[in-house]
Amino acid sequence: MYLIITEKDTAAKRIAAILSENKVKKVRYPKLGVETYEFTYNDDHTIVMGLSGHVVGIDFPNEYNNWQKNSARDLIDAEIVPITTNKKIVTALKVLGKKADIVTIATDYDREGELIGVEALTLVQSVNPDVKFNRALYSAITPKDITHAFDNLTTVNFDLADAGHAREVIDLVWGAALTRYISLCAGRLGKLFLSVGRVQSPTLALIVEREKEREAFIPVQYWEIEATLETKSKESFIAEYHTNRIFEKEIAERVYSNVIVGGDAKIKSIEAKQRKEKPPIPFNTTEFYVAANAVGISVNNAKRMYQTLYEAGFLSYPRTDSTIYPESLELRSLIEMFVGTEFDEYAKALLKIADKDGLKPTQGKKEDPAHPPIHPVAPAKRSDMKEDEWKIYELVVRRFFATFAGEAEWDTLRVEIDINTEDFKTNGSRLTNEGWRWYYPYNKPEDRVLPHLEEGDVLKITHKELFDKETQPPSRYGQGRLIRVMDDMGIGTKATRADIINKLVSRYYIHGNPLQPTNMAYSVIDTLEQYAPTIVKPDMTKQLEADMDKISEGQISESDVLKESREMLNSVFDDLEKNHEDIGRSLQSGLREDRIVGKCQRCGSDLSIRKSKKGARFIGCNGYPECDFSLPVPRTGQVVVTDKMCDEHQMYKIKIITEGKRPWELGCPQCNFIEWQKKLEEDEKNGIVAETSAERAKRIKKEKAAARAEREAKAANPTELSDIKGLGTASLQKLNDSGIMTLADLAGADAAQLARETGISSKNIEKWKEVL
Partner DNA sequence: GCAAGGTC
Touching DNA, residues 173-232 (CB under 7 A): 175-176, 179-180, 183, 189-191, 193, 195-201
CB 562 within 8 A of CB 77: no
At its nearest, how many Å lie between DNA and the CB of residue 190? 5
Which region, judged by CB under 7 A, interacts with DNA, from 435-443, 489-497, 678-686, 721-729? 489-497
How many CB atoms sit inside 10 A of residue 616's CB?
A: 12
* Selection from 488, 1, 33 nearest residue 290 by Cα: 488
The residue among 417 and 504 lying less far from DNA, judged by its C-beta, is: 504
Size of the site for DNA (CB under 7 A): 56
The answer to the question of residue 110 lying near DNA (CB under 7 A) is yes
At its nearest, how many Å lie between DNA and the CB of residue 659? 10
Q: How far apart are CA 210 and CA 66, in angstroms?
A: 37
The answer to the question of residue 307 lying near DNA (CB under 7 A) is yes
Query: Using CB under 7 A, which of 22, 42, 43, 66 touches DNA?
Result: 66
CB burial of residue 437 (10 Å; 0-12, 13-18, 19+): buried
CB 676 within 8 A of CB 666: no
SS3 6: strand
Amino acid (one-letter) located at 401: F
The answer to the question of residue 659 lying near DNA (CB under 7 A) is no
The answer to the question of residue 162 lying near DNA (CB under 7 A) is no
Omega before residue 517 within 30° of 0, cis: no
Residue 743 per-residue DSSP state:
H
Report CA dihedral (133, 134, 140, 144) to the nearest 10 degrees: -110
At its nearest, how many Å lie between DNA and the CB of residue 160? 13
The answer to the question of residue 114 lying near DNA (CB under 7 A) is no
The answer to the question of residue 9 lying near DNA (CB under 7 A) is yes
At its nearest, how many Å lie between DNA and the CB of residue 393? 17
The answer to the question of residue 502 lying near DNA (CB under 7 A) is no
Query: Using CB under 7 A, which of 171, 367, 457, 723 touches DNA?
Result: 171
The answer to the question of residue 487 lying near DNA (CB under 7 A) is no
Q: Which residues pair with 134 in a beta bridge?
A: 104
Query: Using CB under 7 A, which of 21, 77, 311, 682 touches DNA?
Result: 311
CB burial of residue 699 (10 Å; 0-12, 13-18, 19+): exposed
CB burial of residue 20 (10 Å; 0-12, 13-18, 19+): middle
Which region, judged by CB under 7 A, interacts with DNA, from 52-60, 93-101, 424-432, 510-518? 52-60
Residue 450 per-residue DSSP state:
P
Report how far apart, in Å, the C-alpha atoms of 197 and of each of 125, 170, 236, 480, 574 are: 33, 10, 59, 21, 19
Sign of CA dihedral 522, 524, 529, 534: negative
* Selection from 170, 417, 128, 167 nearest residue 271 by Cα: 417
SS3 383: helix
At its nearest, how many Å lie between DNA and the CB of residue 667? 29
Phi, psi of 631 (to 5 degrees): -140, 150
Residue 436 per-residue DSSP state:
H
Query: Using CB under 7 A, which of 398, 476, 494, 649 touches DNA?
Result: 494
Touching DNA, residues 503-542 (CB under 7 A): 503
Query: Using CB under 7 A, which of 279, 372, 492, 517 touches DNA?
Result: 492
- Mark whether 317 is an active-site residue: yes
Touching DNA, residues 313-352 (CB under 7 A): 319
Q: Given 181, 241, 306, 317, which residue is catalytic?
A: 317
CB 150 within 8 A of CB 173: no
Query: Using CB under 7 A, which of 20, 31, 53, 143 touches DNA?
Result: 53
Query: Using CB under 7 A, which of 1, 8, 268, 363 touches DNA?
Result: 8
CB 164 within 8 A of CB 115: yes
Q: How far apart are CA 719 and CA 534, in angstroms?
A: 60
Per-residue contact string for residues 250-289; x = within reach of DNA by CB under 7 A: ----------------------------------------
Omega before residue 372 within 30° of 0, cis: no
At its nearest, how many Å lie between DNA and the CB of residue 84? 11
Query: Using CB under 7 A, which of 3, 4, 5, 7 touches DNA?
Result: 7
The residue among 110 and 240 lying less far from DNA, judged by its C-beta, is: 110
The answer to the question of residue 495 lying near DNA (CB under 7 A) is yes
The answer to the question of residue 75 lying near DNA (CB under 7 A) is yes
Query: Using CB under 7 A, which of 68, 155, 421, 686 touches DNA?
Result: 68
Query: Using CB under 7 A, which of 54, 144, 212, 414 touches DNA?
Result: 54
Query: Using CB under 7 A, which of 41, 97, 108, 653 touches DNA?
Result: 108
The residue among 324 and 500 lying less far from DNA, judged by its C-beta, is: 500
The residue among 264 and 311 lying less far from DNA, judged by its C-beta, is: 311
Residue 629 per-residue DSSP state:
-
* Selection from 27, 61, 29, 70 nearest residue 45 by Cα: 27
- Please identify every residue annotated as catalytic: 317
Residues in contact with DNA by CB under 7 A are 7-10, 50, 52-55, 57-60, 64-68, 75, 85-86, 108, 110, 112, 116, 167-168, 171-172, 175-176, 179-180, 183, 189-191, 193, 195-201, 307, 311, 319, 492-496, 499-500, 503
